[in-house]
Chain A
Amino acid sequence: MAENLVVYTVVHQPRRLKLPAQIVPAKTPPEAISDHLFDEALDRRYFEQVAANSYLPASAMFTDLTRRGWKMSIGFSDSFLVQAERWGTKVLDRFKKLCASPNVEVVNVEPYHSWLLYLDIVAFKEAMLAARSRLEELFQKPVAVTDTTEMFMSNDVYFALQQCGFDGAFMEGRDWHLGWREPTHVYQHPLQRLKLLVRHHNLSDDVGYRFSNRHWNHWPLEAGTYAGWVRETWGDLVMVGWDFETFGEHHRRDTGIFEFTRALAKELKKKKVRMMLPSEAVGELGAKRLEVPVNEYGSTWAGEGGMEFFLGNEAQQGLFRLMHHAYSKARLTGDPRLIEIAKWLLQSDNLHLIQWFGRWGPEAEVSAYFTPDEWWELGALGILREQQRVYINFIRALDEYAK
């Protein structure tokens, strides 16, 4: 039975597109192009909302819990950090205070929260190394374990991360990928060094997704029940991965999520579940050298665990093509400022937000939940059209820089 629990949360805010799309005027200098593509006002409004609902109260709660032995790991996207530095220094200070605890481990995350790994694996490596340096400098801690974007893991990404020198990485644990393996062990690709901590999909979604669902047969979820599920799970450890915004934003305060988390800390102790940091799990439990060949197609923690959540409909596939073209055109200019913008345009959120197109059911509901309310005035097809126009406008604006 699992005696160990690793908790991982990721803090992320997207860099939202400006819809309806704006033409980038001729002769716009590279440093000014972003203003025509991204909606800072919208980002700020959402940032402040999430800060009040989640970042501030949840970080305060976890700071208190870590003093009582709670252990957790937190990943920060650069997308979030940039916004926090601009509009939420208090939020950033709270996170610095939380991460100063020896019971908190800082986890590396793909800084743009993008699909750069699909287009340019070498640039992805550089971005991961840069992100690690930034996190180590910001939080004054070594960073040894990494996440990617949406917990994406594939064979090439595994080797890229190994080349970066990380000790461990997170990977989604779905049956179709693991097959006959349990998600409750530390694995590695055969004969390789990088350890893999596998997210327990069901136990993660019980809290991250189902907790406030009144139609769920386990609602309301009690901390004792959940701690019991963790303890009774077969294997070495349970790794749960959640959005940090689970606490207060996805599940609002009135759902009881904060009380649940505080009670969970006690119940885990009662049931003798040891909380571990990811690097502790890698060090202690990785010695078994259990192997899982990492899937060549890749897996993510979204939807059914494959890339269908991001590339499953025609609108997503069309936008993904435009992402390619935008990045390629920017590379042709050789201007690092334009390449940087193209990387932001690769953000996975822009595909996540339109998963609902032609779909229905719980996954589409999740996708629609993340689509900014303000966009719905454009209508469903309007959102798709305007999103594509942002990319087209960017590609056209590069004409004069790619000569």
Chain B
Amino acid sequence: MIVEPQRTVFVILSFEGPDVYSQAGGLGVRVKGLARSLAQFGYQTYLYFCGDPDLPGEESHEAGRLVYRRWCQWISSRHRGGVYDGEEEKIRDWNASLPQNLIDTVIGPAVESGHNVVIMGEEWHTSWSMNLISDSLYYRGLRDRVVILWNANNTFGFHRMDWAALALAATITTVSRYMKFKVWERGHNPIVIPNGIPRESVHDGDPEAVADLKAAAAADHFCFKIGRFDPDKRWLMAVSAAGYIKRHGKRVRLLLRGGREPHGGEVISHAQHQGLNVVHVSAPPEPAGLSAILRQYPEADVVNLTSYVSDPMLGVIYPACDAVLANSGHEPFGLVGLEVMAAGGLAVTGATGEDYADAYRNALVLETDDAIELVTALNLIQQRPRLAAAMRRRGRVTARAYTWEKVIEQLLLRIEFAAAQQAVTIPARAPDEPRVARRRTRKPEASVG
């Protein structure tokens, strides 16, 4: 099978998606970037996701090449707490209604017009629908025209999945070698296709704003940590390290942006017990506002941002900080670390799914959950600024290698393998190739021996 824009339609199935309602973690960011990049490559792309119930059911972007289809909106309208609110109902509705619609409105017409289809399901919620789609395609005689991939972005829901059935229907992929081994524990060996970042995220933040924020922090160690308040993210380790640094007479400023998860309470309480002064503030819309807050609360060791931090703001915070603490203990991929590298920041990562992180070359990689290791790493970059600068430079180079353009190149090659594995056939004729009546030519007379 040749995966080229003229003859391939992509379908992405994911609970998370581009809407604010649909974003809970890295998955929404991933599918948004992946879908948009595929469309920009010229592929007709459909993204099915549990979208905002107040937005249209269908929406086109990229000159019609990218179509958003918001699913389960009737359930979301009763569950306004985000994409995973009403999760069980949504799974059931998704399984009952999506496969048929997808086949009738996308796959059937695509195959009819000579295209092949690549379906990429994301996360455990879509795992059952992979089987439903595969079954239906089989009975319609279309299974050999569709490549089905299912991607594990996390280990959530692994215990509920029917792995044997899924492996029969789809080629299983995942985002890092760490995740490969997590899936392997379930008896299946997935293909690793890394996550990507948009090309635009590789940029320099406004140098004045960066310098101003750094000056406003006025600290020996100015750090930032963002993510869900989940113990796997090792928030307590970060706070313990900040407490340790303060107790040893150095000035530390730690900016936090967590979610609404209950672990947040433990993190703040732990910070206070470490002797750190904590203030809670709404994230300002502009970097200057954040600088003002840091100046307004000079005694605050920990500044907890309680509202959404925009991408442009992150683009300033990442390079302004001495380090961004992406020090998770369990990270399927660690998109934040890569985004930090793209923005010219210095990432401190954990040592699980962050395949892109190369210790002391483009990042600081923590091997343990000992806060002393983090303190040591932060002291290192303070004592060796040239090494820190080199890591930032190499981090930027690494980020470029993970832009969606590069990742999609890999993805397309992997699809060739999946297509061969699933015995997907090449259409006899490219869809737009005109049917030209060829003149019959007389065969040359056979020579008589």
**Which residues of A come within 8 Å of B, CB atoms?**
179-182, 185, 189-191, 234-235, 288-291, 293
CB of B216 closer than 8 Å to a CB of A:
no
Given A235-B92, A289-B100: A179 in contact with B165 (beta carbons within 8 A): yes
Q: Which residues of B contact A235 (CB under 8 A)?
A: 92, 96
Within residues 121 to 135 of chain B, which ones have a CB less than 8 A from any CB in chain A? 127-129, 131-132, 135
| In the bound complex, CA of A234 to CA of B92 (Å) | 8
Cβ A180 vs Cβ B100 within 8 A: no
Q: Which residues of B contact A291 (CB under 8 A)?
A: 100, 135-136, 139
Within residues 68 to 103 of chain B, which ones have a CB less than 8 A from any CB in chain A? 88-89, 92, 95-96, 100
Checking A180, A191, A288, A289 against B132 with a beta-carbon cut-off of 8 angstroms, the contacting residue is A180
Cβ B140 vs Cβ A191 within 8 A: yes
| In the bound complex, CA of A48 to CA of B262 (Å) | 65
Number of interface residues of B (CB under 8 A): 18
Q: Which residues of A contact B88 (CB under 8 A)?
A: 234
Interface contacts beyond A190-B136, A290-B100: sample of 4 additional A-B pairs, CB < 8 Å, sorted by A: A181-B96, A191-B140, A235-B92, A290-B96
Find the residue from A180, A288, A293 having the highest chain B CB count within 10 A. A180
CB of B355 closer than 8 Å to a CB of A:
no
Q: Which residues of A contact B127 (CB under 8 A)?
A: 180
Checking A180, A189, A288, A293 against B95 with a beta-carbon cut-off of 8 angstroms, the contacting residue is A180
Given A234-B92, A235-B92: A180 in contact with B131 (beta carbons within 8 A): yes
Q: Which residues of B contact A190 (CB under 8 A)?
A: 135-136, 138-140
Cβ A179 vs Cβ B131 within 8 A: yes
A-B pairs with beta carbons under 8 Å apart, 23 shown? A179-B128, A179-B165, A180-B131, A180-B132, A180-B162, A181-B95, A182-B92, A182-B95, A182-B96, A185-B96, A190-B135, A190-B136, A190-B138, A190-B139, A190-B140, A191-B139, A234-B89, A234-B92, A288-B100, A291-B100, A291-B135, A291-B136, A293-B135
Cβ B132 vs Cβ A181 within 8 A: yes
Q: Which residues of B contact A290 (CB under 8 A)?
A: 96, 100
| In the bound complex, CA of A194 to CA of B162 (Å) | 28
CB proximity of B15 to chain A, nearest CB, Å? 15
CB proximity of B111 to chain A, nearest CB, Å? 15
Find the residue from B95, B96, B129, B135 having the highest chain A CB count within 10 A. B96
| In the bound complex, CA of A185 to CA of B132 (Å) | 15
Q: Which residues of B contact A181 (CB under 8 A)?
A: 95-96, 132
Q: Which residues of B contact A179 (CB under 8 A)?
A: 128, 131, 162, 165
| In the bound complex, CA of A255 to CA of B108 (Å) | 55
Chain A residue, CB-CB nearest to B99: A291
Shortest 4 CB-CB distances between A and B: which pairs? A180-B128, A190-B139, A234-B92, A293-B135
Chain A residue, CB-CB nearest to B141: A191
Chain B residue, CB-CB nearest to A234: B92
CB proximity of B240 to chain A, nearest CB, Å? 44
CB proximity of A21 to chain B, nearest CB, Å? 46
| In the bound complex, CA of A191 to CA of B139 (Å) | 7
Q: Which residues of B contact A182 (CB under 8 A)?
A: 92, 95-96
CB proximity of A183 to chain B, nearest CB, Å? 11
Q: Which residues of B contact A293 (CB under 8 A)?
A: 135, 139
CB proximity of A323 to chain B, nearest CB, Å? 33
Q: Which residues of A contact B135 (CB under 8 A)?
A: 190, 291, 293
Q: Which residues of A contact B132 (CB under 8 A)?
A: 180-181
| In the bound complex, CA of A162 to CA of B105 (Å) | 28
Chain B residue, CB-CB nearest to A291: B136
Chain A residue, CB-CB nearest to B127: A180
| In the bound complex, CA of A342 to CA of B162 (Å) | 43
Q: Which residues of B contact A288 (CB under 8 A)?
A: 100
Chain A residue, CB-CB nearest to B161: A180
Q: Which residues of B contact A191 (CB under 8 A)?
A: 139-140
CB proximity of B13 to chain A, nearest CB, Å? 14
| In the bound complex, CA of A103 to CA of B237 (Å) | 68
CB proximity of A81 to chain B, nearest CB, Å? 38
Q: Which residues of B contact A185 (CB under 8 A)?
A: 96
Chain A residue, CB-CB nearest to B89: A234
CB proximity of A185 to chain B, nearest CB, Å? 6
CB proximity of A240 to chain B, nearest CB, Å? 19
Within residues 102 to 159 of chain B, which ones have a CB less than 8 A from any CB in chain A? 127-129, 131-132, 135-136, 138-140
| In the bound complex, CA of A189 to CA of B100 (Å) | 13
| In the bound complex, CA of A290 to CA of B89 (Å) | 17
| In the bound complex, CA of A235 to CA of B88 (Å) | 12
Q: Which residues of A contact B165 (CB under 8 A)?
A: 179
Chain B residue, CB-CB nearest to A190: B139
Find the residue from A182, A191, A291, A293 having the highest chain B CB count within 10 A. A291
| In the bound complex, CA of A166 to CA of B117 (Å) | 37
CB proximity of A19 to chain B, nearest CB, Å? 45
| In the bound complex, CA of A30 to CA of B96 (Å) | 54
| In the bound complex, CA of A290 to CA of B100 (Å) | 7
CB proximity of A225 to chain B, nearest CB, Å? 21
CB proximity of B440 to chain A, nearest CB, Å? 38
| In the bound complex, CA of A265 to CA of B96 (Å) | 29
Q: Which residues of A contact B89 (CB under 8 A)?
A: 234
| In the bound complex, CA of A181 to CA of B129 (Å) | 9
Q: Which residues of A contact B140 (CB under 8 A)?
A: 190-191
| In the bound complex, CA of A335 to CA of B135 (Å) | 45
| In the bound complex, CA of A189 to CA of B89 (Å) | 24
| In the bound complex, CA of A190 to CA of B139 (Å) | 6
Q: Which residues of A contact B92 (CB under 8 A)?
A: 182, 234-235
CB proximity of A196 to chain B, nearest CB, Å? 14
Within residues 165 to 208 of chain B, which ones have a CB less than 8 A from any CB in chain A? 165
CB proximity of B168 to chain A, nearest CB, Å? 11
